């Protein structure tokens, strides 16, 4: 039986303003004009990050672009990356956070949708290191969605362990809990889902550390490749 979370689908324009498709087309134009080091792909949890000072201070210096759209589910992001958004650039690192909006899909289906996105990214961007961010907790108090997300995260972490150049970033849910409890503070998620500046600070400190590590490794590999090529050239010039 086909997995609806892994079946590429554009968002239906129920509001009649074509915003989703216009954003998709704008991303394609941007991909032709920019040469990013890092690409962010996801839903509102990453889209809203771009409107914060944290983005300006932490990520813009790393030459990042953000192709995230609020409300996207796995099948919507999958459609976008299969229809042009990954075709005109070669980022060194791609950051993925998607799945919190797949309300009508089972944990197994959502995990399958995320893995299909991972496979598509790896096929279209084989040079890139991929960071898959685990789903964040939501809802003020412990609830069935948090339990579902824990199952998804465990499944994704296990499946990614065998895929090269791919990292699962397991963000500790307790980062967003009130001390000594499992209730989420509105100081971190203002509506118990979307992050505040303080919430983004907690998420991005963990993410930035992983991102900088991967970029440094990438630069070391590039540097070694340049040195090797230079050395080979020098050796060739010394030959009689």
Q: Which residues are catalytic?
A: 44, 191, 194
Residue 99 in contact with residue 32, Cβ under 8 Å?
no
- CA dist 164 → 66, 123, 217 (Å): 24, 12, 14
What gap in Å lies between CA 231 and CA 226, rounded to an integer?
8
What gap in Å lies between CA 205 and CA 207, rounded to an integer?
6
- Largest Cα separation within the chain, whole Å, is 76
What gap in Å lies between CA 51 and CA 44, rounded to an integer?
11
């Amino acid at each position: 039986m086909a997995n609806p979370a892994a079946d590429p689908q554009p968002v239906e324009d129920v509001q009649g303003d074509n915003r989703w498709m216009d954003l998709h087309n704008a991303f394609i134009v941007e991909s032709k004009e920019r040469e990013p080091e890092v690409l962010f792909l996801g839903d509102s949890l990453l889209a809203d990050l771009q409107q914060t000072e944290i983005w300006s201070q932490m990520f813009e210096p790393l030459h990042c672009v953000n192709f995230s759209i609020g409300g996207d589910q796995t099948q919507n992001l999958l459609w976008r990356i299969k229809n042009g958004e990954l075709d005109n650039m070669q980022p060194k690192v791609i950051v993925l956070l998607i799945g919190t909006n797949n309300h009508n899909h089972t944990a197994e289906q959502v995990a399958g949708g995320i893995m299909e996105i991972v496979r598509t990214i790896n096929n279209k961007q084989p040079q890139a290191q991929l960071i898959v961010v685990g789903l964040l907790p939501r809802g003020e108090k412990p609830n069935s969605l948090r339990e579902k997300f824990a199952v998804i995260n465990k499944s994704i972490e296990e499946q990614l362990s065998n895929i090269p150049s791919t990292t699962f970033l397991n963000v500790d849910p307790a980062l967003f809990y009130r001390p000594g409890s499992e209730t989420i503070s509105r100081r971190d998620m203002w509506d118990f889902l979307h992050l505040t500046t303080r919430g983004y600070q907690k998420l991005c400190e963990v993410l930035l550390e992983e991102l900088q590590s991967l970029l440094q490794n990438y630069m070391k590999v590039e540097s070694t490749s340049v040195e090797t090529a230079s050395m080979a050239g020098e050796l060739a010039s010394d030959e009689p």
